[in-house]
Chains A and B, each alone.
Chain A
Amino acid sequence: MNNKNNINDKSVLQQKITALGAMLNSANERVIAALILVLVLDVWLGILARYVFHWQIPWTEELARYIMIWGILLAVPCCCYRREHIGLTSLQGFIPGNMKRYVLLLLDLFALAFFIMLAFTGTAFAEKGLSQFSTVYSMPMAIPYAAIPVAFLLAACQTGIAMFRDFDCTYVNEDNLGGTDI
């Protein structure tokens, strides 16, 4: 492999796709930060209401679950962009260099197909949610259900972008998580 790390070493198409991916990811990450912040505030409100003010606010728990699902599922495409989803990659070292790039391409295609399938079936699932309502404040369930098609459509986009960006190149994640054990 050529291991082109520098954006200037890439073709014009790869440069444009890399820039598009970065822009999409930046916007996506800001939304995640905002949602997790709201999530924290919501749970704090629930705690204050329960233990300090002794108010009855029944919706904080339900809201927290749905914000969590939206916020964390939206992080899935960011991890696709940054190639952070964990896999058993130690055996890839045994694949000869020229063949490895096609194996990696094939794996990206599998991932792309999986995310597209989930976005497609998730849309039908969200549509069904239009006629279902949440238990506490009767919100159409289509709103939380929509997290699935939106997040996985974005994941499909970012996987496609990463596939073009990294073909014949080595991607370097500048903000490495350093481990995903929790």
Chain B
Amino acid sequence: MIVGIVFLVLLLLGLPVGIVLGISGMVGLASIGGMHFVALAPSKIFNGLNIFPFLAMPFFILAGEIMNHTGITARLVIFAQVLVGHFRGGLAHTNMLSSVFFSGITGAATADAAAFGRTLVPAMVKQGYSRPFACAVTAAGSIIGPTIPPSGLMVVYGSLMGVSIGGLFATGVLPGLLICIICMLIIAGLGKRKNLPKNADRATLKDIFIAFKSSILALIMPMIILGGILFGVVTPTEAAAVAVAYALFIGAVVYRCISWADLTRMLIRTGRITGVIFLIIASASILGWWLSFEQIPQAIAQAMMSISDNPQVILLLIIALLLIVGTLMDITAMLIILAPVLVPLTEHIGMDPLHAGIVFVLALNLSLMTPPVGACLFVLSSVTGEKIEKIAVELWPFLIGELAILLLIAFMPDITLYLPRLLGF
């Protein structure tokens, strides 16, 4: 009881989540056995972090930072544009398809939102799109990044819950593509009603080939990462390290645009981004130990099962909980806090661990663009100067479409499990 009160009060006051979890965990340990148990906190932290697959996280972040620095994003956008730019709402379609290409480079939705918020949103506004709509399209597309591998969220989920990261990566491919397709259908549907611009002529095969050649170095990267992992040649950590080598080769040798100072800055930023996540994981290890000791996950599972014993109702409750909490909380923090509590429940209702993983990741990704605390909305608002509430109004059709994909994936597991099963996960 006291742990719950401490957790909620400190969280609502705005203390960083990592510290809230740590203090709540220490209060929990003290309630079991006083200072003698509080002294166990460092060992819980060390064991919680001493996990080899976690290494993939800083490496994927570093590879994404380097690739962003090379300016390869612009080449990917041009390639997407020659493919779909001739449709009504061509730049909106381009934005969406670029997110698919970009997703193979970085798993961070905010990186996607920042990159396209700076480049494609002004281009769309110049062509006659309203700024809130351009931002909404960018936000809707940005969540393709952490759905299609590589995805840092999947690395954390797999490492914490003991689920195959390669399997999760394979599971994410189809939902990511489905999100792209549904959003492009929505853009096509809105095209006439919103009178979206139709400017570009259909690109010739020669144009497509030139754009493909120019962006091939970026398009190869996900193949290196995924090919290696999915066919079991390398581990996710090794694939991430190879991705860093490849990105460095492109940046330093091919484009010659990375200095030592740039590299140092990128290494530091990688450390800081991972540092924020690691504090949460470290502190969650303390609270997690107390939760297991007090058998709280089992109690929550029983409480939810008492509402209904129908697996589909339970799954719906889990999704609703994730989406509701996701409107208020950072998704990585949510994953670290809620996965150990809710995943046993998914096991209880007989869900495949990979299926449970993708439902979790997809629900969390949707939270990236739900107000008031949608990270992608914040990033887009800050880089474009557009108000969050105006973006949110234009975002609804896309949110509903993506929610439909989440429910489809949740209740028809065979769709998303087809690829991992084919690859033997």
Task: Report Cα–Cα, A144/B111, bound state, in Å.
Answer: 32
A87, B14: Cβ atoms closer than 8 Å: yes
Task: Report Cα–Cα, A26/B332, bound state, in Å.
Answer: 27
Tell me how many residues of B have a C-beta within 8 Å of chain A: 83
A43, B237: Cβ atoms closer than 8 Å: yes
Q: Write out, one digit per residue, whether chain B residues 53-72 have a CB within 8 A of any chain A CB (1) or not (0).
A: 01101111110000000000
B42, A79: Cβ atoms closer than 8 Å: no
B61, A86: Cβ atoms closer than 8 Å: no
User: Is B38 part of the contact surface with A, judged by Cβ < 8 Å?
Assistant: yes
With A76-B279, A181-B108 as contacts: A40 and B42 at CB distance below 8 Å? no
Task: Pick the contact of A33: B271, B332, B382 (CB < 8 A).
Answer: B271
| Min C-beta distance of B240 to chain A, whole Å | 8
With A110-B10, A179-B379 as contacts: A73 and B49 at CB distance below 8 Å? yes
B22, A180: Cβ atoms closer than 8 Å: no
**A149 — which chain B residues lie within 8 A by C-beta?**
42
With A69-B49, A114-B22 as contacts: A182 and B277 at CB distance below 8 Å? yes
User: Is A163 part of the contact surface with B, judged by Cβ < 8 Å?
Assistant: no
| Min C-beta distance of B98 to chain A, whole Å | 18
**B52 — which chain A residues lie within 8 A by C-beta?**
61, 64-65
Task: Report Cα–Cα, A181/B18, bound state, in Å.
Answer: 14
B42, A64: Cβ atoms closer than 8 Å: no
User: Is A131 part of the contact surface with B, judged by Cβ < 8 Å?
Assistant: no
Task: Report Cα–Cα, A111/B20, bound state, in Å.
Answer: 9
| Min C-beta distance of A87 to chain B, whole Å | 4
| Min C-beta distance of A15 to chain B, whole Å | 25
Task: Pick the contact of B12: A82, A91, A111, A122 (CB < 8 A).
Answer: A91
**A68 — which chain B residues lie within 8 A by C-beta?**
49, 54-55, 58
Besides the known contacts A72-B49, A82-B272, A103-B13, 19 further A-B residue pairs in the complex with CB atoms under 8 A apart: A30-B264, A32-B267, A33-B268, A44-B241, A47-B234, A73-B275, A75-B271, A76-B278, A85-B16, A87-B20, A88-B11, A88-B12, A88-B14, A88-B328, A148-B42, A178-B382, A179-B109, A180-B273, A182-B61
Q: Which residues on A are within 8 Å of B, measured CB to CB?
A: 29-30, 32-33, 35-37, 39-40, 43-44, 46-47, 51, 61, 64-65, 68-69, 71-76, 78-79, 82, 84-92, 103, 106-107, 110-111, 114, 117-118, 121-122, 124-126, 144-145, 148-149, 175, 177-182
B23, A177: Cβ atoms closer than 8 Å: no
A85, B268: Cβ atoms closer than 8 Å: no
Q: Write out, one digit per residue, whether chain B residues 34-57 have a CB within 8 A of any chain A CB (1) or not (0).
A: 000011011101100111101101
Task: Pick the contact of B17: A61, A87, A118 (CB < 8 A).
Answer: A87
Task: Pick the contact of A75: B155, B278, B330 (CB < 8 A).
Answer: B278
**A72 — which chain B residues lie within 8 A by C-beta?**
49, 58, 271, 274-275, 278
Please name 12 pairs of A and B residues whose Cβ atoms are closer than 8 Å in the assembled complex, sorted by A: A32-B267, A43-B55, A68-B49, A88-B12, A88-B14, A88-B329, A110-B23, A118-B22, A175-B265, A179-B108, A180-B332, A182-B153
User: Is B386 part of the contact surface with A, judged by Cβ < 8 Å?
Assistant: no
User: Is B123 part of the contact surface with A, judged by Cβ < 8 Å?
Assistant: no
The 6 closest A-B pairs by CB, nearest first: A179-B110, A182-B152, A75-B275, A85-B16, A125-B42, A32-B271
A177, B237: Cβ atoms closer than 8 Å: no
A91, B14: Cβ atoms closer than 8 Å: yes
Task: Pick the contact of A181: B19, B269, B279, B375 (CB < 8 A).
Answer: B375
Task: Report Cα–Cα, A86/B275, bound state, in Å.
Answer: 11
Main secondary structure of the interface of A (DSSP, over half): helix
A145, B276: Cβ atoms closer than 8 Å: no
**A35 — which chain B residues lie within 8 A by C-beta?**
271
A84, B42: Cβ atoms closer than 8 Å: no
Q: Write out, one digit per residue, whether chain B residues 252-283 have a CB within 8 A of any chain A CB (1) or not (0).
A: 00000000000011011111111111111010
**B57 — which chain A residues lie within 8 A by C-beta?**
182
Residue among A37, A74, A182 with the highest chain B CB neighbour number at 10 A = A182
**A71 — which chain B residues lie within 8 A by C-beta?**
58, 271
With A73-B49, A76-B275 as contacts: A90 and B245 at CB distance below 8 Å? no
| Min C-beta distance of A45 to chain B, whole Å | 10
B242, A125: Cβ atoms closer than 8 Å: no
Residue among A37, A75, A175 with the highest chain B CB neighbour number at 10 A = A75
